[in-house]
Amino acid sequence: MVSCKGALLAWLCAAVSIYLGYICNTHLYFRSPFSGVASIPYTLLSASNVSIDPLILASMKQFGFFYVHHIPNYNSSQELDYLQRFFKLPDTQKMRYAVRKHNPANTNVYRGYGPVVETSGTQYKEIFNIGPHEVQPEQSTSGDPLERLRVISRERNVWPQDTGFEEEFQEVFRRGFQIRSNIARSVIKSIGRSLGHPELIERFKESEFSTLGLRKYPMRTSVNEKMYSVHDDVVLSELEHEDSTVTILATFNNPGLQALYDGVYWDVPPSRDGFIVNIGTLIEDIADNQIIAVRHRVKQINHLRYSIPFFFNPSFDADISTSISGRQTTAGTNYKIFGEWMRDYLPVVEPGLLEDGILRS
């Protein structure tokens, strides 16, 4: 009888713990803090409807990001389709659009194609950068690296030719650029209104250095020690970092993105047919730290991953040395205008694209 009772007890325990586990997991799932992140319909955002301002502000204060959904004339599957078609082109063809670092016959240094370069750590991606310019600015004759960077900021796009889909590709991504640019502008306006400084948008008037980056993250066959998170030993394909300006991100249906909340990294639900919007440290600084630049990372996942970030940047000549309230910013200890800041920042974040020393005097 005793053993029978014991067995019964064990069975009961197992049943109860399975049930509790179920409850706990379900409960945990619903308790992801990110179920509280705002999701804003595009039409209200682009119409500058003030009813969304408190939602955006609250999400940016608590989480550092929010979603935009229901975007007219935007089809994420179509973008993904053309992105994949481009990256599937033969390497020899893609290299025709490569930045000068990888194709010395070319003049483009930032827009265009960047092949996978095996550097240390987690930089392991193929890139195609698209900007807002179709006309090449005059080359700078001055030896000043800042003037060289000013030309780079306005560098014209390098569109793929002879692919059989070049017209649709251009149309899809030009439209994609405009949609994101619109979203980013509307977000900055909303934040400016909420913080009592609607003139914040003036610093983005030109935003000539903005970039849409098509990205392919191939699967890695080996793991190196630099890919482990210092936070919790998870294997990463993008190390923990904060962005710098304004990011409008499409992750499609890909898992992997995680964001820090209350000392723990949580999965960020994919953007699917919409976008994830976050700001970076420079904007946090300019906004007097009233909204946060979320720290995030990408977990290594065992398949090919694509994403399209869009970086919406202040104008080249925008003052970044003072915050909206007139305080000196952290960036302001070293830089007056955005271009100066970018001269130091860009080579660090894009070592695979920029030629060594191109921005040194």
Ligand X SMILES: *[C@@H]1O[C@H](CO)[C@@H](O)[C@H](O)[C@H]1NC(C)=O
Residues that bind ligand X (CB under 6 A): 44, 49, 51, 75, 77-78, 81
CB of 80 to ligand X, least distance (A): 8
Q: Measured from the CB atom, is 26 or 48 closer to ligand X?
A: 48
Nearer to ligand X among residue 75 and residue 334 (C-beta): 75
Evaluate whether 191 touches 185 at the Cβ level (below 8 Å).
no
**Within 13 Å, how many C-alpha atoms sit on residue 91's CB side?**
5
Q: Tokens standing for 300?
A: 């290594």
Tokens of 247: 């990011």
Tell which residue, 331, 255, 347, has the closest CA to residue 293.
331
Least distance to ligand X, CB of residue 81, Å:
4
Closest to ligand X by CB, 82 or 113: 82
CA–CA distance, 120 with 345 (Å, rounded to integer): 18
Least gap, CB of 49 to ligand X (angstroms): 4
**Closest distance to ligand X from the beta carbon of 233 (Å):** 39
321: amino acid identity, one letter: S
The answer to whether 121 and 225 have CB atoms below 8 angstroms apart is: no
Residue 81 or 317 with smaller CB distance to ligand X: 81
* Residue number with CB closer to ligand X (78 or 178): 78
Q: Using CA of residue 75, residue 267, residue 276, residue 99, what is the dihedral sign?
A: negative
CB atoms within 10 A of CB 268: 26
CA contacts within 13 A on the Cβ side of 32: 15
Nearer of residues 198 and 347 to ligand X, judged by Cβ: 198
75 or 120: CB nearest ligand X? 75
Place of tokens 């898992």: 255
Nearest CA-CA partner of 67 in 307, 276, 294: 276
Shortest spacing between CB 290 and ligand X, in angstroms: 24
Report strand pairing: 296-299 vs 257-261. antiparallel
Closest to ligand X by CB, 190 vs 211, is 190
Q: How far is the CB of 69 from ligand X (least distance, A)?
A: 14
Task: Find the shortest distance in angstroms from Cβ 191 to ligand X.
Answer: 18
- State the DSSP string of 32-59: -GGGGS-EEEHHHHHTT-GGGHHHHHHH
Q: Please check whether residue 298 is in contact with residue 279, taking contact to mean a CB–CB distance below 8 angstroms.
A: no
CB of residue 181 vs ligand X: minimum separation in angstroms? 21
